[in-house]
Amino acid sequence: CGAGGDDEDSYTNLDALGRFPVYEREETLARLLNRETLLTKLQKVFLESAPEMLVDFSQAVRDDDLETARSKAHSLKGNSSSIGGERFSKLVFCMERAAKARDVAFLHGQLSRVEQEFAALVEILESFQVAGEDRATASGTDVKQTEPGASVKSSQAGGRLP
């Protein structure tokens, strides 16, 4: 699943997830044509809306409400992918597939991992949001480009700020 395979049962193979960064700023900016302001806005919307989606997803898993779990996982996947949350996006894609396959045991078994990956992504995004606000306030304008070294390639990188 993490490797992007199309095999319906591949959602249970999460070994490849470690290859993906928690946050991929440079590639996301490139997809957005280097519009830093747009990325900042998308991240802000994610930070405002995704926690409630995660709560709804988690509750659906706990309640064995597979259709709601699938739907919420799908929304979380798209939203996190659009802001550069590569690892979390891949993980909730696996969860979406598990819900579709009605694999309740897998969903329950991976729920804490989903919550941990979400927390790691939020921590990094909040750091970038604060850094962007500080720079915009200091310069009087929105940040227009990423400084060198701004990309966080893995969770071990600790969320370097631009």
pLDDT band (50, 70, 90) for residue 126: very high
Average pLDDT of the segment spanning 127-136: 66
Work out the mean pLDDT of the chain and round it to a whole number. Answer: 82
How far is 66 from 84, CA to CA, in rounded Å? 26
- pLDDT for 130 equals 76
Residue keyed to tokens 């699943």: 1
Residues 46 and 125 sit within 8 Å (Cβ to Cβ): yes
Residue 124's contacts (CB-CB under 8 Å, 6 or more residues apart) are 22, 23, 152, 159
Pick 161 or 127 by higher pLDDT. 127
- pLDDT for 131 equals 73
How far is 81 from 38, CA to CA, in rounded Å? 14
pLDDT tens for 13-65 read 898 899 999 999 999 999 999 999 999 999 999 999 999 999 999 999 999 99
What global pTM score does this model have? 0.78
